[in-house]
Structure 1
Amino acid sequence: MTADTLYVEGSPALKKAKLSGPTGAMHDSMKPGLGDIMGSATVEPPVDLPSLDTFSPLQRTVLFANGNLQRILSSYHDSPVTVTVRFNRRKAHGSYEREVDLSVFGCIFAVCTSSVVLTTEECIRAIEVDGVGIGQLFRHLNIMPAFSLLQAGQLAAAAEESPTTSGPQTLDSEARFWREYQLSGLGVQCTIREVLRSDLFELRPAISTEASQSSAVAQSSGFGDLMSGTVTSMLLPSGFSPKQRILITANGNVERLLSSYYNSPVTTCVMLNNRRSESDVYDRQIAMLVDGRQLMLAKSTIFLTDPAWQKICEDENVPVGSMFHRMGVLPTFTLHHAGVGPQYFWRVYQLKSSGMTCEINETFSIDVFTDADSRPEKPQLEGHGF
């Protein structure tokens, strides 16, 4: 396919845009990046993982959440997620154990047990001298972690929640699922097991507490939201659906959310990747498609603010959209604006670190999160295609 124009489905805001080359052959300098800043967004389950089809689309977004579980649930429910520490103890020099409950609407929806190993004195000093919480270490040191899903599955009603959990079991739900994963970065390795209610997206506030939810503040944060500080309450204007709110607050992982929700690879077409003359400013435009259907259009202006970053970008031919990942730096996320149109919704946000600032405008098709289990079958080209 060599067409030089990509026609975008949906709203008037998603207009046709000129491609810089064939849709299927992108130059190294035109590879995607900012859609999943922590690595490949493609859903790659472990070999022994049960079929992902046994999980609902929203449950799959949880299975592959790479450090932002709290953000996903807080955004979906439009309510703060509270972290309650069960224990947080030192096993040996540089080795720690931690267990927390995650709650929304006063209801525990997950029990998370972590084993943390630190291999640098800077990390150990941050915990034992500076008083940094274990769950905030990646954010405190601006370390970009790599995510790896190890195992996942469903739990029967009579099954034990977790072999490492101490104290009473508190997930008030017969149907549960679980996952084990790793987050690892420079000097930090965390192995985490989470047991979650299967109905965590169906929880509703109690009548007596509904009025107080909007002004509540989460008590603490942890591995569930690596890119924020201690607040896991996403404040948004009204008018967005729960699923739309997940994308409005996504902090560098839109590709991962779409890929896991649909259990299908995301195709990213880079339509523009231009460096302004005599400057370290880049203009970039991409489209994301699943099964040939365009779901999002993004326009970015990227500022390289550190000469060392610019040198690496040039010397190693690193795509500018992949620089956060290349430098191992976790950027901060700031949502500027968001709104809804007739057939689309949009947001403007910033990803920023000491070496690079990205101003990004994304427009989503209004049906970006249709029922993944009832999508129309892919078109068959036999006899009438090319």
Structure 2
Amino acid sequence: MGSYVKHAQTTIPSHFGDIMSQRETSLRLPDDFGGLERMLLTANGNLQRLLSAYFNAPISVNVLYNKVMSEPNTYGPDQTCILRGYLREVNLCINGIKGQPSRTVCNAKSAVYITDPAVLRLVEEEGVGIGQIFRYLDRLPNFELFSIGRSAPKEGKKDYTFWRLYKLSCPGVDCFINERFAPGFLEPGWIEQADADIALDHTHDKVWQFADAMGHDFLSFCTRL
């Protein structure tokens, strides 16, 4: 998002249940989103697989940048110590469908905070990629949804998009992610159309904020991304 907006907010619970969770799973998102959109908005680390299943085609990860953060050294209300932080931006792209060139389905910017020396050694000494940490550790990450939003379409165009801010975490790793989906990618014929700009003006977005996000410094995170 270009900037975080506070208007049109609705506060709703942020726990939705996860794979293998012992809790009862109860999903209740705004009716402004369709069923497929709600599935994607609540994906807990398996978005690439869901998109591949939807399009019945490979989804690749195109890393745009992956750099070490110079700051902060701590974060959150409990001032958790950060051993190393990374800023990443990737595109999830669909390849080889209907003879069309690669298309960007989703853009994701993330801030990854490593707080465990053992995890840091995996990254810096054993070469484990930042995007593969959870899989390498064989951990199902905890999923917290901070906020979701929908852009307002321009008159006469179907250029609306939707986005989410969320956190994936396990002991030693916290990953804050801002994902924006391509305008109209769930509509018939999208593959054959020209690429649309994902980075739309979000000034007039309708935003839903989740209750548990209030304990996190995610507004600062938004400005950093």
**TM-score range relative to shorter protein:** 0.5 to 0.7
CA distance in 1 between partners of 2:180 and 2:20 (Å): 22
CA distance in 1 between partners of 2:87 and 2:188 (Å): 34
Aligned CA RMSD, in angstroms, stands at: 2.6
Shift of 1:227: 5.3
Name the amino acid aligned to 2:40: L
CA distance in 1 between partners of 2:21 and 2:149 (Å): 22
CA distance in 1 between partners of 2:124 and 2:50 (Å): 30
Q: Please name the residue that 1:365 is paired with.
A: 182
TM-score using structure 2 length:
0.63
Q: Please name the residue that 1:351 is paired with.
A: 168
1:242 equivalent to 2:35? Answer yes
- 8 A Cα contact 1:227 1:331, kept in partner: no
Name the amino acid aligned to 1:232: T
Change (3 A) 1:364 1:260: same
Shift of 1:375: 4.9
Q: Please name the residue that 2:221 is paired with.
A: none
Shift of 1:326: 1.0
Unaligned runs of 5+ in 1: 1-12, 15-217, 378-386
- 8 A Cα contact 2:142 2:169, kept in partner: yes
Q: Point out the more displaced range, 309-318 or 232-241.
A: 232-241
- Partner of 1:334: helix, strand, or coil? strand
Length, aligned pairs only = 157
CA distance in 1 between partners of 2:172 and 2:141 (Å): 10
Q: Find 1:271's aligned residue among 64, 77, 82.
A: 64
- Partner of 2:67: helix, strand, or coil? strand
Please say which structure displays the higher CA radius of gyration: 1
Q: Please name the residue that 1:100 is paired with.
A: none
Over the matched positions of the two proteins, sequence identity in percent amounts to 37
CA distance in 2 between partners of 1:356 and 1:246 (Å): 24
- Partner of 2:32: helix, strand, or coil? coil
After TM superposition, the structure 1 = structure 2 runs for residues 9-88 of structure 1, keeping only pairs within 5 Å, are none
Q: Find 1:295's aligned residue among 96, 101, 105.
A: 105
CA distance in 2 between partners of 1:376 and 1:285 (Å): 25
- 8 A Cα contact 2:44 2:141, kept in partner: no
Shift of 1:368: 2.4
Q: Please name the residue that 1:280 is paired with.
A: 84
CA distance in 2 between partners of 1:259 and 1:345 (Å): 19
Unaligned runs of 5+ in 2: 3-15, 72-82, 96-101, 154-159, 194-225
1:320 equivalent to 2:113? Answer no
Shift of 1:370: 2.8
Deviation per residue, 1:182-237 (Å, 9 max, x gap)? xxxxxxxxxxxxxxxxxxxxxxxxxxxxxxxxxxxx9xx9xxx5254412112223
Change (3 A) 1:349 1:229: farther
Change (3 A) 1:287 1:227: farther
